[in-house]
């Protein structure tokens, strides 16, 4: 190719004449591979960063509440660590997504915006409900279960519903799994719910990171 030089019809024709079927196939393969690599969101990194939020963040919150008799609340340092990890994971997700989707417009961009907006609005609603529950006199146990599992419920519903746009059964399955974890983990109690969510979300996210990484390399 003559990058960097002017292209005339003559030069163009001679370029084409010098390109046989195999060379064309090689160019197609290389261009497709590069476009896919550059334009595809690096999901292993996103899955791994959120796995860390659950395994480490939720895990630390669980460590801070597991011995409490009677149960009152997670320790401030544990919640602060969880918040820090969540902010870091959000930053990683935003950076990785932006790197792949920079310059890409149209329908996908609109879908992405609606997806993230739905998630943000859902999480905002959850965090507004939390003081409302306190206000109506909900106990520490109820608040703990709600704080641990309601974000999962929101994420699961948005993810499962979002698959209508992506036609992606894997994402739908993950969404349903998050809903199931949110629904059932509360039975582990106000302390156990943190451990249950940490393992039931963190481990599958790590597995998804490994699977998507392996697929990307194959």
Partner 1 sequence: MSDDGLDPVIHAPARLRLMVTLATLPDGDNLSFTRLQELIGLTPGNLITHLRKLEDAGYVQTNKTGSGVNALTTVALTRDGRAALERYTAVLRQLLDTAELAQPQVRTHLEPDTDSAGNYASHNDAGPHRRAQQGNG
Residues that bind partner 1 (CB under 8 A): 1-7, 12, 15-16, 19, 21-22, 24-32, 34-36, 38-41, 43, 46, 93, 97, 100-109, 111-112, 115, 159, 162, 165-171, 174, 208, 211-212, 214-218
- Nearer to partner 1 by Cβ, of 15 and 91: the residue is 15
The rounded distance, in Å, linking the Cα atoms of 136 and 126 is 15
What is the nearest approach in angstroms of partner 1 to the Cβ of residue 70? Answer: 39
- Nearer to partner 1 by Cβ, of 20 and 67: the residue is 20
Look-up: residue for tokens 């009152």? 72
- Nearer to partner 1 by Cβ, of 11 and 83: the residue is 11
What is the nearest approach in angstroms of partner 1 to the Cβ of residue 89? Answer: 12
What is the nearest approach in angstroms of partner 1 to the Cβ of residue 38? Answer: 6
- Nearer to partner 1 by Cβ, of 138 and 213: the residue is 213
Q: Which long-range contacts (CB under 8 A, 24 or more apart) does 123-131 make?
A: 123/151, 123/154, 123/155, 125/154, 126/150, 126/151, 126/153, 126/154
What is the nearest approach in angstroms of partner 1 to the Cβ of residue 35? Answer: 4
What is the total residue count of the chain?
A: 218
Look-up: residue for tokens 């920079």? 102
- Nearer to partner 1 by Cβ, of 87 and 104: the residue is 104
| CB-CB contact of 205 with 51 (8 Å) | yes
Kindly give the interhelix angle for 140-166 and 107-135, rounded to the nearest 10 degrees: 170
């Amino acid at each position: 190719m003559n990058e960097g030089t002017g292209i005339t019809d003559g030069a163009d024709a001679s370029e084409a004449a010098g390109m046989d079927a195999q060379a064309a196939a090689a160019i197609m393969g290389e261009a497709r591979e590069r476009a896919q690599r550059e334009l595809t969101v690096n999901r292993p990194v996103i899955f791994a960063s959120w796995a860390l939020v659950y395994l480490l963040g939720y895990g630390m919150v669980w460590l801070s509440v597991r011995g409490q008799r009677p149960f009152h609340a997670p320790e401030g340092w544990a919640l602060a660590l969880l918040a820090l990890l969540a902010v870091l994971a959000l930053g990683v997700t935003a950076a990785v997504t932006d790197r792949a989707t920079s310059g890409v417009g149209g329908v996908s961009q609109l879908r992405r915006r609606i997806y993230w907006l739905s998630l943000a609005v859902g999480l905002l609603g959850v965090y507004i409900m939390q003081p409302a529950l306190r206000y109506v006199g909900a106990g520490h146990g109820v608040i703990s279960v709600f704080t641990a599992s309601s974000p999962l419920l929101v994420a699961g519903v948005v993810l499962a519903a979002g698959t209508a746009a992506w036609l992606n059964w894997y994402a739908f399955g993950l969404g349903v799994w998050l809903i199931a974890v949110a629904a059932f983990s509360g039975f582990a109690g106000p302390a156990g719910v943190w451990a249950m969510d940490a393992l039931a979300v963190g481990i599958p996210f790590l597995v998804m990171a490994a699977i998507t990484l392996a697929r990307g390399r194959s």
